Structure 1
Amino acid sequence: MKRIGFVIFLVIGLGACSRKLHIEREPNIAIEKYRNYTWNKLEATKASHPLYSSEELNETIIRKVDKILAQKGFRRNIATPDFFVDFHIYVEEQKFQNLVCGAGFYRGERYLPDLSQRTYCESPEIVNYDNGTLIIDIVDAQTGQLVWRGAAEEIIDNPAYAATVFEKKVKRILRKFPSSKGETKAKKQDVEKVISVN
């Protein structure tokens, strides 16, 4: 029972960590004045599992970004872009060691308390998971300067669901991106950190 409770606590704790959202913006650039964009040359994803670097995943993210930017009033225009869009995916394999300790032992079906006040620990259980980070960059087409960056992390328990997970991260990140009319859609529960990009 202790083990089940601890694993549930671990999952809840990891889920809380996965809600991290980080936004950086160059304060001297009026992104709201931009109108057109195009995609920059995408960097290949470095990950152990092939599903994290698949064309399907890249196309899913590109379609979602295009859709949200269109809703915000930006147009995709290869000939005369005001800014470039780029994204990066980083996936790290993480391991957590779950060590269960107690002050008694089971013999057969019966629990026998250890009256000597000694503790014993079972063999550690290793919990594996992937920590995925999606970064979306906005670069000024004239100067090549990074003017906006959004990043969000997520725990991925199955690489087969990577496209769905990162599609939701795109929506969450770009919710903070200003529209061409100067409006920003945001929710109070999102934690935003705005700093100057050097």
Structure 2
Amino acid sequence: MKLVKLLLLGCVVVIVAASCNTSQKIFVEHDYSYETNFKAYSTYAFLECERDTGNVCTEVYNAIHRQMQARGYRLTTNKPSLLVNYGIFYDNLRYQGYMQPVIKNWVDTEDDSFKYEPIRYSLDKGTIIVSLIDADTDQVVWRGYAAGIFKNPNAANNYYRNVVRTIFDQYPLFASGYDPRGSGGQSNGR
């Protein structure tokens, strides 16, 4: 009898804990160009935020800046190698992405046999799209996106920072000349 009560109490605790968790999963994905030498980029500049007039753009800007710095990229207005464009979309969005290998695997092999396999997504309300654009060619070389970001009405203070970090988890590459293991993560001067 004691065992049954203990099991019942354990089930109640699990159910209550699960119902208290208001965070819902967001959909995160990325696409990239097979014609890009990702190892050549070291600096970046921002383009204007698209589709938002509120404070979300500022929070997303700061979060992207933090993620780029963590990967060794330097913010500059003088001939950046990458341009960062980002937008916040409030409505549902139809989007064509691509089925591709994880970017790190492709960068390591640069296998020319990979093909773009289009896939259509119906992205839920609240999508952040971050694009990295080659400053010389004006071509998008990487795009990360997170959908369903407005599902959690009780978002924490650092919510958008965490969403952007989740997007950039899809971009595990470092700036040219940057060694995260050596010299305190500083650039080695390239």
TM-score calculated relative to the size of structure 1: 0.55
Q: Post-superposition shift, 1:82?
A: 0.4
Contact 2:24 2:151 in 1 (8 A): no
The alignment status of 1:132 with 2:129, answered yes or no, reads no
Distance 1:148 1:162, change over 3 A: farther
Q: How does 1:1-198 map to 2 (within 5 A)?
A: 15-16=24-25, 18=26, 20-45=27-52, 53-54=53-54, 56-92=55-91, 131-157=125-151, 161=155, 164-177=158-171, 178-180=173-175
- Match of 2:162, SS? helix
Contact 2:86 2:129 in 1 (8 A): yes
**Can you give the 5+ residue segments of structure 1 that lack an aligned partner in the other structure?**
1-7, 46-52, 94-129, 184-198
- Match of 1:142, SS? coil
Which whole-Å CA distance do the structure 1 matches of 2:152 and 2:167 have between them?
Answer: 22
Distance 1:24 1:66, change over 3 A: same
Which whole-Å CA distance do the structure 2 matches of 1:155 and 1:82 have between them?
Answer: 30
Amino acid at match of 1:179: F
Q: Post-superposition shift, 1:40?
A: 1.1
Give 4+ residue runs of structure 1 displaced > 3 Å after superposition.
157-165
Q: Post-superposition shift, 1:22?
A: 1.5
Which whole-Å CA distance do the structure 2 matches of 1:77 and 1:41 have between them?
Answer: 15
Which whole-Å CA distance do the structure 1 matches of 2:151 and 2:176 have between them?
Answer: 39
Distance 1:25 1:158, change over 3 A: closer
- Match of 1:92, SS? coil
- 1:174-194 deviation line (CA, Å, top 9, x unaligned): 1222111599xxxxxxxxxxx
Which whole-Å CA distance do the structure 2 matches of 1:176 and 1:158 have between them?
Answer: 22
TM-score calculated relative to the size of structure 2: 0.58
Which whole-Å CA distance do the structure 2 matches of 1:154 and 1:174 have between them?
Answer: 17
Work out the number of aligned pairs and report it: 130
Distance 1:66 1:155, change over 3 A: closer
Larger radius of gyration: 1
Which whole-Å CA distance do the structure 2 matches of 1:172 and 1:179 have between them?
Answer: 16
Which whole-Å CA distance do the structure 2 matches of 1:168 and 1:175 have between them?
Answer: 10
- Match of 1:69, SS? helix
- Pairwise CA RMSD: 3.2
Which whole-Å CA distance do the structure 2 matches of 1:31 and 1:62 have between them?
Answer: 22
Which whole-Å CA distance do the structure 2 matches of 1:154 and 1:162 have between them?
Answer: 15
